[in-house]
Structure 1
Amino acid sequence: MTVSTQTKALLWGLAGIGAWAAVKAGLARHRKMDFRGKTVVITGGSRGLGLEMARILAQEGANLAICARDPAELNDARSELLAYGGSVYTQTCDLTDKDQIEDFIEDVRRELGPVDVLINNAGIILVTPFEHTTEADFRESMDTNFWSAFHTINAVLPHMRPRKAGRIVNVTSFGGKVSVPHLLTYSASKFTFVGYSEGIRPELQKENIYVTTICPGLIRTGSPRNAYFKGQNEKEYAAFKIAGSIPFFTIDSAQCAREIVEACRYGEAERIIGFPAKLGASIQGLAPNLLAEVMGVVARLLPNPGGIEEQRAKGKTSETPLSESVLTTLTDQAAERNNERVKE
């Protein structure tokens, strides 16, 4: 190529970037949502990231509906959220049960009105070597992390379609972009969720319903206490909790919640949250073999099979001096803030 041709190519490229930036800004202005008075459903909204999002939306004047399995968690969350003003409707719900999901959404409609925003946030994490995974583990992860959202989306669409308006936010994971060792059941379900979420966006966008796929990296929510662990559960838990406490490698749950709310506000297609997650997703796209080799090294560094084998234990029953050390201070602080210790 001559210098002149290269210059023209550069100018055309810059013009294209500028044109897209202008289009993007125009779409953002057109799609911007004011949450005041809107009915917002958050699954798994009683603790962790769900509670963080509920706090932000309550302060913006939304009418909230949150569900979870634990009534004590729901009561604590409701008491806090009511202080911000607005309406807060809570209901115990097993999201692996389609009938309970449909009942919950119908009850929300009667109490607060048609659903304007659905945030699919509920999920389960199982940390285990591949040797100790079972078919039941995969089915449970799929039921909780994918099918629950599938059924919840189907339950709210009859509220949104007649009005030609709505937002659906699917909180998936970086683990739905890159499969992570010892999180195979989680990643398998999240990959499915990412594919479904990305696929339904263009199908629903023609009805002015915007689907946003959220892929966060490690978030400091305090949730390791309520995750499940197999094999050498104490070592698995310590590694998972420490990794989730490292500054800069992880993202603060309040900051993550703000980013998700902003992505919903403007009807974005996707937002990957956290620099490590963005970097990992980019490497996966550009150099998948390199990332596969890195993950192979990570797998060798993680605990070997053994311990309690196929039995499972919650994080909070797997504490050791290492997992309760200064290395996990940020996760413990997040657990206190985000209702993760409600049963203690």
Structure 2
Amino acid sequence: MTSLLSRSHKDSLAGLSAVITGGSRGLGLLLAEQLLIRGCAVTIAARDEQELDRARELLTRGRPGARVHGVPCDVTDRAMVASLMADAADAHGGVDVVIANAGIIHVAPLESIDADEFRSAMETIYMGALHTSLEALPWLRRSPAGGRLALIGSVGGLLAVPHLLPYSCAKSAVAALAEGLYAELHGDDVSVTAVHPGLMRTGSHLAAEFGGDEAAEFAWFSALAGSPLVSMDARRAADRIVTAVQRRRSRIVLTPMAKAAGLGHGVAPALTTRLSALAARALPSPPDQGEAQGPHKGRDIEPGPGKARHPVARRLRAWGSALNDRAARRLNQRLPHHAHGGP
């Protein structure tokens, strides 16, 4: 009984100071909420100051005494990340928990993207995670509770996903970084958790950038990301992620499909790659030369017949985006002007 009580006390996050990059919307907002529920003082970071203000209001609403600090930060700039950590430490008396969550998503066939999309993904997702890790470590090493660091990867980092190549490449680098940091820091009093979620209903389809036949690309991505059959409720995902960080787990993979994909690629990589190539054939073809569209954010893509050339694409968009649009309203994702529903 005594050992259980002491373990529970050791795992507690109450009174600790946590930092979340990409914390103003979507999964990052829910991670901040879960950390608040467990008694943390939270610093959320993002590039958009207005978004940060709205996020702080959402997080403190109905929570008297909740300590939420918002810091504008572009994680591609290491100096800004260093300032973020110092600001969080000054506001909340140190830094004990850090979650590197900032990211971007490009959805397009290879023919409709260039090296710029790969560079942008690597700068934001991988270099952002690296900057966050390097600048957090001096503070985490000084944490009396023992620091906790988590890097948000993806199933796209466990195997390459067609039409998401820049994202997959950057997330695979994050996966390697998380594993390497865990090995390097194993003797220190700092835990590292690699997080690999599958699809989640976060409203990310509105912030993702689409190219090629953008309406058709938007249709398949929003359909899968919003389908309860393959995607996960984002609040439940955030709860499981924070629990894994709290318990200092080295790795967590979320959703049955993500677990199956990761296992399949590990056991039979050649077969998984061939199946991925077959799946790519079912995705939208790139438009003819001169007809390329995008990149446009999902929130700027009109779902009407003038944009989606195929009836199936229009039906998929209407069906798949319904749950995700609902999540977007709750999770500070800016809705398009043509979206219907409540606030």
TM-score under structure 2 length normalisation? 0.88
CA-CA distance at 1:343 after TM superposition: 8.2
Are the structure 2 counterparts of residues 106 and 310 from structure 1 closer, same or farther at C-alpha, using a change threshold of 3 Å? Answer: farther
Judge which range, 217-226 or 85-94, deviates more: 85-94
Q: Which whole-Å deviations, capped at 9, do the CAs of 1:121-147 have from their partners, x for residues lacking one?
A: 110000111112211111110010010
Question: Residue 331 of structure 1: which of 317, 321, 324 is its match?
Answer: 324
Which residue is 2:107 aligned to? 127
Are the structure 2 counterparts of residues 273 and 316 from structure 1 closer, same or farther at C-alpha, using a change threshold of 3 Å? Answer: same
Are the structure 2 counterparts of residues 229 and 32 from structure 1 closer, same or farther at C-alpha, using a change threshold of 3 Å? Answer: farther
5 Å-filtered alignment, 1:52-91, equals 52-83=30-61, 84=63, 85-91=65-71
Distance 2:32 2:163 in 1: 30
CA-CA distance at 1:163 after TM superposition: 4.2
Contact 1:32–1:266 (Cα < 8 Å) also in 2: no
Which residue is 1:242 aligned to? 223
Contact 2:222–2:317 (Cα < 8 Å) also in 1: no
5 Å-filtered alignment, 1:252-291, equals 252-291=233-272
Larger proportion of helix:
1
Question: Residue 295 of structure 2: which of 312, 329, 337 is its match?
Answer: 312
1:180 matched to 2:173:
no
Distance 2:198 2:17 in 1: 28
Distance 2:298 2:59 in 1: 27
Question: Residue 114 of structure 1: which of 70, 94, 106 is its match?
Answer: 94
Question: Residue 156 of structure 1: which of 136, 153, 157 is its match?
Answer: 136
Q: The residue matched to 1:205 in structure 2 has which SS? A: coil
- CA RMSD between the two structures: 2.0
Structure 2 letter corresponding to 1:301: A
Q: The residue matched to 1:230 in structure 2 has which SS? A: strand
Q: The residue matched to 1:244 in structure 2 has which SS? A: helix
Distance 1:198 1:180 in 2: 21
Structure 1 letter corresponding to 2:117: D
Judge which range, 53-62 or 38-47, deviates more: 53-62
Contact 1:220–1:251 (Cα < 8 Å) also in 2: yes
Distance 2:50 2:179 in 1: 35
TM-score under structure 1 length normalisation? 0.88
Which residue is 1:190 aligned to? 171
**Long gaps (5+) in structure 2:** 305-313, 338-343
CA-CA distance at 1:33 after TM superposition: 2.2
Distance 1:310 1:194 in 2: 31
Aligned length: 319
CA-CA distance at 1:180 after TM superposition: 0.3
Which residue is 1:169 aligned to? 150
Distance 1:154 1:242 in 2: 37
Q: Which whole-Å deviations, capped at 9, do the CAs of 1:186-242 have from their partners, x for residues lacking one?
A: 000011110011111021121110000000111110110000011111110111000
Q: The residue matched to 1:124 in structure 2 has which SS? A: coil
| Larger Cα-atom Rg | 1
